[in-house]
Amino acid sequence: MKANIVTLPGDGVGPEVTAAAVAVLEAVAAHYEHEFAFDEQLIGGAAIDATGEPLPADALDACKAADAVLLGAVGGPKWSDPNAPVRPEQGLLALRAALGVYANLRPLTVHPALADLSPLKNEKLKDVDVLFVRELTGGAYFGAKTKTADAATDECKYTVAEVERVTRRAFELARARRRHVTSVDKANVLETSRLWRRTVTRVAADYPDVTLEHQLVDSMAMLLLTRPGSYDVVVTENLFGDILTDEAAALAGSLGLLPSASLGEGSNGLYEPIHGSAPDIAGKGVANPVGTILSVALLLRHSLRLEAEAQAVEAAIDHVLQHGPRTRDVGGDAGTVEVRDAVLKALADYAATHRSYFDGARACG
Ligand SMILES: NC(=O)c1ccc[n+]([C@@H]2O[C@H](COP(=O)([O-])OP(=O)(O)OC[C@H]3O[C@@H](n4cnc5c(N)ncnc54)[C@H](O)[C@@H]3O)[C@@H](O)[C@H]2O)c1
Ligand SMILES: CC(C)[C@H](C(=O)O)[C@@H](O)C(=O)O
Ligand SMILES: [Mg+2]
């Protein structure tokens, strides 16, 4: 197939991990006979430096017209002055809003070879398989903001429609998994969370084959570490989802491992690792590219509908995590490029081994 993919390398380690992920997409195109066209655009601090804007109009137009968008990371100390008139992160939030990608899927699994890196030394860790569905275009991130010399506010607002659509997405996803949804809120304190809980409960009635439990976010932060194996799909609002998924990354072994897919109603989507620009390691060539490469697998699956290719990328990552090389954050001493090259080799081996199956499937239409 032909596909136009916009890349937004951004700041810090963003360009390093994006380059590795693009190499994987190019390899997928070569092995499976697709034509992927890449269009690199500016976002974040790099865009502020070049244009004064964190999301230039050209970049936004290209993203809207693309089949999929792959992002590295935005932000960094250079642009983090609290008095700065414009911030890199605004570009990312504006992009999410403009693309209407309200459902942010953040899958968490724990590779058996990395289970020792987790804060929990639990043999059941390898069975952890959680899909976080984070509401991405509402809540405190997008409410009205006020600022005076001695006070500031961030309005947190949710409408029933916003909660309902992400809840339906979570239940649909649960149907293809273990049919259990945990909805996380703070309904004992927040009015938005009570609206959230009422709406989730009502929508759940349309999915009698899926079980629902509600969990308050503070206790969820603890339970995620003490019994992560009991969760299947976890749906929650924007800010809680941001925090819980970074916590979840500790179970996997590193923030550098987790991918994400941000989806709306159309097939276009935004794909990015859940980590940030990692200023402490930027420019050193040691960033873990696995979260971004796994985001490529999600891009292939959700936007391009290339399931076999998505599985090939996941199998290649699985092989490399098992056998190495690994970056420092996961106990190795390899650089980003060495890991990329190992993934490319594993992908080539996988494609060669599965070639007859692939050709047969294509011959059948
Ligand atoms: N989607 C995004 O673009 C995104 C996401 C999160 C944070 N940020 C931005 O990134 C900047 C830095 O934020 P932060 O330091 O709180 O979080 P961070 O995710 O950038 O880094 C947190 C820690 O994780 C490590 N880490 C992150 N990614 C890694 C990788 N691929 N390989 C190895 N180690 C990795 C870092 O070295 C650091 O020690 C901020 O400006 C923040 O707003 C952007
Ligand atoms: C950079 C920031 C705006 C972003 C968020 O909070 O959504 C990041 O932390 C993430 O998890 O994607
Ligand atoms: Mg985050």
pLDDT tens digits, 68-85: 999 999 999 999 999 999
Output the residue whose Cα is nearest ligand 2's atom 12: 274
301 lines ligand 1 (CB under 6 A): no
Distance in angstroms (rounded) separating the CA atoms of residues 266 and 196: 24
Residues flagged as binding site: 76-89, 96, 106, 134, 218, 242, 246, 276-288
Give, as one character, the DSSP assignment of residue 327.
B
Which CATH class for the 119-252 domain?
alpha beta
| Share of residues in the chain with pLDDT > 90 (%) | 93
Residue 359's pLDDT band, with cuts at 50, 70 and 90, is: low
Residue 365's pLDDT band, with cuts at 50, 70 and 90, is: very low
Task: Give the per-residue pLDDT at 125.
Answer: 87
Q: Is 186 tagged catalytic?
A: yes
CA pseudo-torsion sign 225, 188, 190, 133: positive
Which residue in 32, 102, 141, 158 is the catalytic one? Answer: 141
Q: Is 154 tagged catalytic?
A: no
Task: Give the per-residue pLDDT at 343.
Answer: 98
Q: Looking at the CA of 79, name the nearest ligand.
A: 1
3-state secondary structure of 181: strand
Q: Which of 3.30.565.10, 3.40.50.9100, 3.40.718.10, 3.40.109.10 would CATH assign to domain 1-109+254-365?
A: 3.40.718.10
- Side-by-side strand order, sheet with 2-10: 35-40, 2-10, 68-73, 269-271, 261-263, 103-109, 129-135, 233-236, 180-185, 211-216
**ipTM greater than cut 0.90:** yes
Do the first three CATH levels of 1-109+254-365 and 119-252 match, i.e. the same topology? yes
**Before 325, cis peptide (omega within 30)?**
yes
Q: If you average pLDDT over residues 99-128, what whole number do you get?
A: 89
Cβ neighbourhood burial of 4 (10 Å; 0-12, 13-18, 19+): middle
Residue 25's closest CA among 38, 44, 42? 38
Q: If you average pLDDT over residues 138-146, what whole number do you get?
A: 98
State the distance from the centre of ligand 2 to the C-alpha of 8, rounded, in angstroms.
Answer: 15
- Residue in the structure block whose two tokens are 């961030």: 154
Task: Give the per-residue pLDDT at 364.
Answer: 57
State the distance from the centre of ligand 3 to the C-alpha of 71, rounded, in angstroms.
Answer: 14
Q: If you average pLDDT over residues 227-249, what whole number do you get?
A: 97
Q: If you average pLDDT over residues 242-250, what whole number do you get?
A: 97
3-state secondary structure of 7: strand
Task: Give the per-residue pLDDT at 317.
Answer: 98
CB 100 within 8 A of CB 165: no
Domain coordinates in residue numbering, the chain: 1-109+254-365, 119-252
Residue 65's pLDDT band, with cuts at 50, 70 and 90, is: very high
274 lines ligand 2 (CB under 6 A): yes
